[in-house]
Structure 1
Amino acid sequence: MAYAFPTDYAQARQEFRYAARDAGARMRSFLLPGHRGPTGEELRTDTAYLGPATPTRLLVTVSGTHGIEGFCGSACQTRILLGEGVAQAAAAEGTGVLLVHALNPHGFAYQRRVTEENVDLNRNFVDHHRPPHNDPYERVHGQLTPHHLNAFRTQELAVALGRLRDELGPQVLQQAVTHGQYRHPDGLFYGGEGPCWSNRVFRTVVEEQIEGSGATRIGYIDLHTGLGERGYGEPIFRGGPDREARHRARHWYGTALTASEEGTSSSTPIVGNTATAVAEGLRADRELTAITLEFGTQPGPEVLLALCADNWLHLREDPVKAVQSDLKSLIRAAFSPVEDQQWRAQVLQRAREVFSQALAGLNCTHQEER
């Protein structure tokens, strides 16, 4: 079967499952209760595992943490790891490969970054009894969420965001917006008031399929879009519980590796991401090397405008009507420009390269990494 970039969540899930079945993967499925997709389809997070029953090395990839970004992530998982045999080759050498597909299925199906509760899943893995504060967001919330508008005026908001960017500076604005905030459920990058469904599912996957695998060396790649140079996949260091994690990641991914905390990344520092959940769910003797693989799409101002438009749309419309709106073209262009053949080709080539680097890294000895 020839796999292509999917055009909707249902196609993505079908092709992922077909590819997993053809590869002989062991599968699990988690149903999102109380919700259906735009055409009535079930919404599920699926996992597929290839490899020995008790691997010593495990590569984990996740797609759809930010719903609509799953179009890219799903294609990478389906076509690169399964359709082109990379996972089978790794499994044959004794390395386990676990693919978590559509971690946020509602956002995937309705072409949103956020969950059914307007929660940014990649800011949800925090202590909700003591959520981190993001006071700078208070300065920009009102301008990012123009609730008073009866019609979304794209050019008008673009000009307002441009003035805000000039006033604060691009870096300060990006940090204020994207760091994560926990006070405005109607706002951008809202981390939620408690663990959402996708959070709970992922913690189950971590406990039962990552920690539960028994693997002592774990490579982790969360697939994202929206930041950086168009078509390029930037490996962003997301940590590990041991002191050698950063050095190890540099050995695996070379000088391309960036770090938000060092100011070398297209991403500013964030809190509550999925890599946090993996690190927290592992025993002390496990070795975790975690990255985000971020594929660029559009310049930052256009991406922010698309986020504002999508937030405004879904606060006013039924989800099924919203997904049919012309405004959806903005968020598709910002996070899933799948009509661009060159972009698709660049993504798949880069994904294959980074996955291969991770597998090679997992097979390195500690002596080689030093």
Structure 2
Amino acid sequence: MTYAFPTDYARARAEFLRAAESAGARLRTFVLPGHQGPDGGELCVDTAYLGPAGPAKLLVTVSGTHGIEGFCGSACQSGILLGEGMARGLPGDTGVLLVHALNPYGFAYLRRVNEENIDLNRNFVDHDDPPHNDPYDLVHPVLVPPDAPAFAAGRLIGELTGLRELLGPQILQEAVTRGQYRQPDGLFYGGRRACWSRRVFQTIVAEQIAGAAHIGYLDLHTGLGARGVGEPIFRGGPDADAFQRARRWYGDALTASEQGTSSSTPIVGNTAGAVAAGIGPGSELTAITLEFGTQPGVEVLVALCADNWLHQHLPPAEAVRSELKSLIREAFCPAADEQWRGLVLQRAREVFGQALAGLADAKPGRRSTAARS
């Protein structure tokens, strides 16, 4: 079955809430203070939970960590887990928690970053001693040229080609994407403090995730890898068996950034690390990013630079209506490619099933007394 992808954040949220209520999920909402969407509406992180009050086993899916990537993640959550009923009819010890639009500002304004230009998946670090990526300082003037009166894609591609020849493709990708903490106007900026979405997510971990004995964690992303392919990227777990367990769940398709087998280079400060830090000892965490490829890496990077230029030079309400926004939209959720969308939904359905099967095979563990809401 194929579902229509939402056309904007407001519709995505409405469809998610409607599907969650129809499924009988327990809902919780966190409203972003001080900001509204382009339509004047609230910007919210919503959670939907199905299952017992104290599950021993818990599947967690997250959409919109990188704002605009929420179009894909929201469609998977609303269509497959809720619409198809995959999150219903679970064993009595198993729950499913859906975290929708973790970065609602980026989702609404078609940005990968949040209201402070922060990459949320680089924000979960100790900001008193941030792990800055020194090579980024070399590439920053290329990605964010000072006083550029207009966005020049040709110049950018030429200079990126020169950097690629100088550094090599792997080192260049790591320099750009690993995360940086010195350039607030730059790309992949991890921030100088814990941002609002991070604080919300840590609350969700403490109140809705911690306490389960076995946790399967899927953070839904787009923009890396072969077009239409859903790559399960290992994101760790606190116990020594986490990687082998993930391999049993997801098979040979599982990749690992630290082993050099993934389309993603190693990153720091991601949401999976926040889950690992927040669940406490004794819980098994099997965490992946499910990454859907869209365009070649250089085109995705050009789109990110174009979007960064837009928001450096225009108010958000004007930037979101710019023709340049078509670049980032195509880079993270191709608008007219029904084949891509079909592949995404088919693969998401498969991976969600693998995660639930993996949890079903886990040995019974302790049950939490904490209510899920």
Q: TM-score, normalised by structure 2?
A: 0.96
Letter in 2 for 1:53: A
Q: Identify the match of residue 317 of structure 1 among 314, 318, 327.
A: 314
Secondary structure of 2:49's counterpart equals strand
1:276 maps to 2:293: no
CA contact (8 A) 1:43 1:105 kept: yes
The equivalent of 1:53 in structure 2 is: 53
Q: Deviations over 1:249-276 (max 9, x none)?
A: 0000000000000000000000000001
Give the Cα–Cα distance (whole angstroms) in 1 for the partners of residues 213 and 59 of structure 2: 11
The equivalent of 2:305 in structure 1 is: 308
Cα deviation for residue 339 of structure 1 reads 1.8
Q: Deviations over 1:273-300 (max 9, x none)?
A: 0001100001201110000000000001
Give the Cα–Cα distance (whole angstroms) in 2 for the partners of residues 168 and 87 of structure 1: 46
1:116 maps to 2:115: yes
Cα deviation for residue 126 of structure 1 reads 0.2
The equivalent of 2:69 in structure 1 is: 69
Give the Cα–Cα distance (whole angstroms) in 2 for the partners of residues 3 and 143 of structure 1: 39
How do 1:4-83 residues align onto structure 2 when only pairs under 5 Å count? Answer: 4-83=4-83
- Of 280-289 and 143-152, the range deviating more from structure 2: 143-152
Cα deviation for residue 338 of structure 1 reads 3.3
The equivalent of 1:352 in structure 2 is: 349
Letter in 2 for 1:298: Q
Give the Cα–Cα distance (whole angstroms) in 2 for the partners of residues 139 and 288 of structure 1: 36
The equivalent of 2:143 in structure 1 is: 144
Cα deviation for residue 366 of structure 1 reads 5.0
The equivalent of 1:183 in structure 2 is: 182
The equivalent of 2:286 in structure 1 is: 289
The equivalent of 1:264 in structure 2 is: 261
Letter in 1 for 2:170: Q
Percent same amino acid among aligned pairs?
71
Letter in 1 for 2:226: E
CA contact (8 A) 1:297 1:337 kept: yes
Cα deviation for residue 167 of structure 1 reads 1.7
Give the Cα–Cα distance (whole angstroms) in 2 for the partners of residues 122 and 107 of structure 1: 13
CA contact (8 A) 1:67 1:102 kept: yes
Letter in 1 for 2:223: G
Give the Cα–Cα distance (whole angstroms) in 1 for the partners of residues 317 and 148 of structure 2: 21
CA contact (8 A) 1:29 1:44 kept: yes
> Structure 1: which 4+ aligned runs deviate by more than 3 Å?
none
Secondary structure of 2:361's counterpart equals coil
Q: CA RMSD in A?
A: 1.2
CA contact (8 A) 1:147 1:312 kept: no
Give the Cα–Cα distance (whole angstroms) in 2 for the partners of residues 58 and 183 of structure 1: 37
The equivalent of 2:371 in structure 1 is: none
The equivalent of 1:132 in structure 2 is: 131
Letter in 2 for 1:160: E
Letter in 2 for 1:199: R
The equivalent of 1:207 in structure 2 is: 206
CA contact (8 A) 1:230 1:298 kept: yes
Q: Deviations over 1:63-86 (max 9, x none)?
A: 000000000000000001000110
The equivalent of 1:101 in structure 2 is: 100
Q: Identify the match of residue 226 of structure 2 among 194, 207, 229.
A: 229
Cα deviation for residue 94 of structure 1 reads 3.4
Give the Cα–Cα distance (whole angstroms) in 1 for the partners of residues 213 and 186 of structure 2: 40
Cα deviation for residue 123 of structure 1 reads 0.1
Cα deviation for residue 336 of structure 1 reads 1.2
Cα deviation for residue 39 of structure 1 reads 1.0
CA contact (8 A) 2:61 2:97 kept: yes
Q: Identify the match of residue 326 of structure 2 among 324, 329, 334.
A: 329
Cα deviation for residue 53 of structure 1 reads 1.0
Q: Deviations over 1:98-154 (max 9, x none)?
A: 000000000000000000000000000000000002111011000110132111122
Structure ranking higher in helix proportion: 1
CA contact (8 A) 1:338 1:344 kept: no
Structure 1 residues 326 and 320, CA gap change in structure 2 (3 angstroms): same
Cα deviation for residue 157 of structure 1 reads 1.6
CA contact (8 A) 1:131 1:182 kept: yes
Give the Cα–Cα distance (whole angstroms) in 2 for the partners of residues 325 and 73 of structure 1: 24
CA contact (8 A) 1:3 1:15 kept: no
Kindly tell me the number of residue pairs found equivalent between the two proteins. 363
Give the Cα–Cα distance (whole angstroms) in 2 for the partners of residues 77 and 135 of structure 1: 37
The equivalent of 1:156 in structure 2 is: 155
Letter in 2 for 1:194: R
Cα deviation for residue 158 of structure 1 reads 1.7
- Of 143-152 and 216-225, the range deviating more from structure 2: 143-152
CA contact (8 A) 2:214 2:283 kept: yes
Give the Cα–Cα distance (whole angstroms) in 1 for the partners of residues 11 and 36 of structure 2: 15
Give the Cα–Cα distance (whole angstroms) in 1 for the partners of residues 218 and 362 of structure 2: 20
